[in-house]
A and B are shown apart, each in its own frame.
Chain A
Amino acid sequence: MAQAQKEFSIVGKRTPRIDAYERVTGQAQYTGDIQLPGMLYARVLRSPHPHAKIVGIDTSKAEKLPGVKTVIHYENAQVPWSSGGLTHKRFIFNNPVRYVGDPVAAVAATDRQIAEDALKLIEVKYEKIPHVLDANEALKPEAAKITPNGNLSVGTGAFSSPIEESWGDLDAGFKEADRVFEDTYITKHVNNAQIERRVSIAKWDAGKLTVFASTQGVSNARTDIAKDFNLPLSKVRVVCKYMGGGFGNKNQAQDYDYMAVVLARASGQPVKLEFTREDDYIGMHGRWASEQRYKIGVKNDGTITAVSLDAVTNMGAYRKQSGNLSGTDFYNIPNFKKVIKAVHTNTVVAANYRAPAYPQSVFGFASFLDQIAHEMGLNPYDMFMKNRAQKYKTKLPFTSNYLEQCIIDGAKRIGWTEKWHKPGAMGGVRKHGIGMALGGYPFRPGLGAATIRLNPDGTAHVLVGVSDIGTGAKSTMAIIASEALGIPLNRIQLTNGDTDATPYSVGESGSRTTAFTGTAVVAAAEDVRRQIFNRAAGQLKAKADELDLRDSEVFVKGDPAQKLPLERVVQNAGELIGRATTNPAFKDAEGKSFAAHFAEVEVDTVTGHVRITRYVAVHDSGTILNRLAAESQIKGGVTQGVGMAFSEELLIDRVTGIPVNPNYRDAKVPTHLEAPEVEVIFIENYDPYGVFGGKVVGEPPITPAVATIANAIFNATGRRFKELPISPEKILRAVQV
């Protein structure tokens, strides 16, 4: 059973977000809502070719258009974009251009229509170069070379290629197996598709640069900008107060921030650069597509003895992130080897999208395990239960692990035992199916900082560098501060996302904010409390360490009747300031949040349409700090998985390399009508390394969703779908054999 919860005053409750009022009244000011006096508007011109040398660019007609202030391109704005290309050098404008959508020029004008008009007046002469769109083709010796070193994306560390990892003895593992299975699973490029289009506003004041960004991390964005523009950090300010989603494609600073900076410097005016929705689909990145070739050895009882994974991931024209595949993480695999070739092609860049390395490979691996269970006459429940991860990579213990409980509780809730049937066994036109899969995401502590200013009336002001991309991070930080301080939430003010005002934060990516910055908030609260207790000791005739603070009252722990209102203690203090920079680490352990998902579907064999009739998501995320927001995160992650499972794919024309569906309607993002009601269960426990026992929440829910749905479709139809998305067309082709 899960470890008993500690007593909390606000942690674990259902707390509406601290900025919900601003969001429902339209008062929340997002980056694009900011208007500065004299501000110009900017638009980006992109390459229509997948691979071409620019042999001439004539901007004279564009510059003559009334209202146009500045035009920049590779000749007059050679700014490196370090985080945009980790294996071969990338600039904000590149020559040659390497994919359809590679930026060629940007225009700043007095309004956005003029900027758009000006793009059409820029004359670019391209000399086409042979291109390659398919990742396997790209690895052939005769393929067009996208980087000087070829198309295997060879970098260092996490950006090496092939990415290789192994343990145990693979050959011995396969020998030990009663049966060995081999198969290939394929996933496609899916755009993050957050509703807020990319926008950046840059302004220069006496050598100081301010960027109002739409970024998941103001601190990292500032570091990037300072580095690539060769500025001291003290001359760069990055602000992001409200953020309209990103799911991994607004980490750090991006090329559009840089373009706004250059245009603002050249024009001497503030510049707002806006992406169109098409820009957003092709100009940044989506989830990397993959081809996963598995070889899995199992004993007759279903126990895995060995797994080898040979894969290719398509990173597009530039390497921004790892290209790894980690869906095997949730299983006990005694002998393991993976070789993943991250590959360049002349297509849209692929990088982080919520749990970057997971949903595609959980789809592959958990689908295959489900298939193996079928072929061996086992119930998939037993297959997943038997092979679930119990130690990190079979060796180190986890800081906490309630995956078993997730599986048990989820199966019970959905009624697995009663409802599971042989795959394809149901008659009729609409076929019922049930499926499951395991998922999760790494949890680890790291560098964080926080400041808390206690006002003389006893209210507290928390300063943290976090942006809030929709996870509720601002609210989570305020809840942590409230709990740690002993001051009610309504007496806490929070300032976030401004590098001139708020301390370092890791940035909202990798589900790290709660662990990294939250730990610092707790430490800063302890710092303030020490100062409060030192002041109160005399007044309460007790030692400072005998005092406690709860609900804005300072009292003697051994004699709670001896108490003082907090404002009485601090009324003449001016201001008490607590601060902390923290950087804890695990000792001989690794952390992970776990999940087991279960779905029931109804497959219409006449239309190929699948309806999810029930969805149960069970999560071990340690203590849940805000049940309301955490449930929403789980529901949202599953919904994104629904899109990936059924419909979403950025299609690239095989001849021209042009993306043909860079918009919501054609890329088929799920709507209200496709979203299932998601039942969320948390297996509450207290992780010893977590902030108040909490682990990670944001990324885990998307990880098992695709595989869960795919396995339910298999159970309904008896047909295995090995390539995403599982569209009605594919289903019809399979069931009408």
Chain B
Amino acid sequence: MKDDKKGIKVTRRSFLKGLGGGAIGTAVISTGLVKANPAEAYSPEVAAGAGIKTALNLKVNGKNYRIDVEHRNTLAEVLRDQLGLTGTKIGCDRGECGACTVIIDGRNMYSCSQLAVWMGGKEILTVEGLAKGDKLDPLQEAFIEHDGAQCGFCTSGQIMSGKALLLKNSKPTEAQARRGLSGNLCRCGNYNREVAAVLAAAAKIS
């Protein structure tokens, strides 16, 4: 390997790009991995997934969208850039921080780690879909009352993980609430508040 080029590095994106380049199979995966490396071997025309689009029925917050998505775009990117639902944040874009958490078929998941093309037929709920008209979800109210947001950048993700937890377990203990939110980082260190808000919302709905 020439040392004046980018080193061997498989980013999560290039890996996902590989997966998104066509049907999931070893050939495509290896394309993604190999092509992430030296410039000589890198052909932009076959950059995995570039420009390849599929028409998709996406159901978000109860609304049906018919959109063309590029295969290599993640759900987080499509929500934010194509649907304008920017309440879902991207903090790390590599499945670590949880700022992009949405609820997919009842489970909290990192939308930066899901390709949009995988989302056909699934029910997606984002932070924008929690309130019923002007009526906030009890969890959103609890986040306001308990100062659940400092800078607010991780807040949507914390709320969506909290919501997913409450959907499964309407009376979590404090330990269960912590566990339920543990995939969501908060660098402001507002963890006490976020857990308190989930517990307060649970008390309110039960």
Residue of B at shortest CB range from A116? B13
Residue contact A35 to B150, C-beta cutoff 8 Å: no
Q: Which residues of B contact A29 (CB under 8 A)?
A: 86
Interface residues of B in 159-206 (CB under 8 A from A): 159, 178-179, 181-195
Task: Name the residue in B156, B183, B184, B192 with the highest tally of chain A Cβ atoms < 10 Å from its Cβ.
Answer: B192
> B194 to chain A: closest CB distance in Å?
7
Contact with B along A22-50 (1 / 0, CB 8 A): 01111111101101000000000000110
Q: For residue A192, which residue of chain B has the nearest CB?
A: B187
The A interface is mostly helix, strand or loop, or mixed, namely loop
Answer whether residue B122 sits at the interface, using C-beta atoms and an 8 A cutoff.
no
- Chain B CB within 10 A, most for which of A23, A665, A670, A673: A23
Q: Which residues of chain A come closer than 8 Å to B193, judged between CB atoms?
A: 632, 635
Contact B4 A194 (CB under 8 A): no
A180 to B50: give the CA distance in the assembly, Å.
68
Q: Give residues 189-241 of A contacting B (CB, 8 Å).
A: 192-197
Enumerate chain A residues within 8 angstroms of B86, measured Cβ to Cβ.
26, 29-30, 32-33
Bound form: Cα–Cα A673–B182 in Å: 6
Picked from B42, B80, B183, B187, the residue with its CB within 8 Å of the CB of A245 is B187
Say yes or no: is B28 at the interface (Cβ < 8 Å to chain A): no
Interface size class of B (residues with CB under 8 A): 35 or more
Contact across chains for A195 and B99 when beta carbons are under 8 A apart: yes
Instruction: Please state if B187 and A629 are interface contacts (CB–CB under 8 Å).
Output: no
- Is the beta-carbon distance between B81 and A35 smaller than 8 angstroms? yes
Total contacts A to B, CB within 8 angstroms? 202
Instruction: Considering the complex, give the chain A residue whose CB is closest to the CB of B37.
Output: A120
Contact call B44/A121, Cβ cutoff below 8 A: yes
CA distance A522 to B47 in the complex (A): 58
Which of A13-21, A387-395, A544-552 forms contacts with chain B? A13-21
Hey, which chain B residues are within 8 Å of A126, CB to CB? 3-4
Counting chain A residues whose Cβ lies within 8 A of the other chain, the interface size class is 35 or more
Known: A48-B3, A195-B97. A247 touches B39 (CB 8 A): no
Closest to B130 in A: A25
Q: Please report the C-alpha to C-alpha distance between residue A629 and residue B152 in the assembled complex, in whole angstroms.
A: 13
Q: Which chain B residues lie closer than 8 Å to A28 at the CB level?
A: 152
**CB neighbours of A35 from chain B (8 A):** 81, 84
B22 at interface by CB-CB < 8 Å: no
For residue B142, give the distance in angstroms from its CB to the closest CB of chain A. 9
| A-B CB proximity, top 3 nearest | A26-B87, A639-B189, A470-B151
A-to-B contact residues, CB < 8 Å: 16-17, 19-21, 23-30, 32-33, 35, 48-49, 61, 65-66, 113-114, 116-117, 119-126, 192-197, 242-245, 247, 276-277, 468-472, 628-629, 631-633, 635-640, 642, 658, 663-665, 669-673, 675, 677-678
Further contacts, 10 of them, CB under 8 A, given A30-B89, A243-B151, A637-B189: A17-B144, A24-B144, A192-B187, A196-B89, A245-B188, A277-B96, A632-B147, A636-B150, A664-B185, A675-B192
User: Can you spell out 12 A-B residue pairs with CB atoms less than 8 angstroms apart?
Assistant: A16-B145, A20-B143, A24-B148, A26-B128, A35-B81, A48-B7, A113-B70, A117-B50, A195-B186, A639-B191, A672-B182, A675-B189
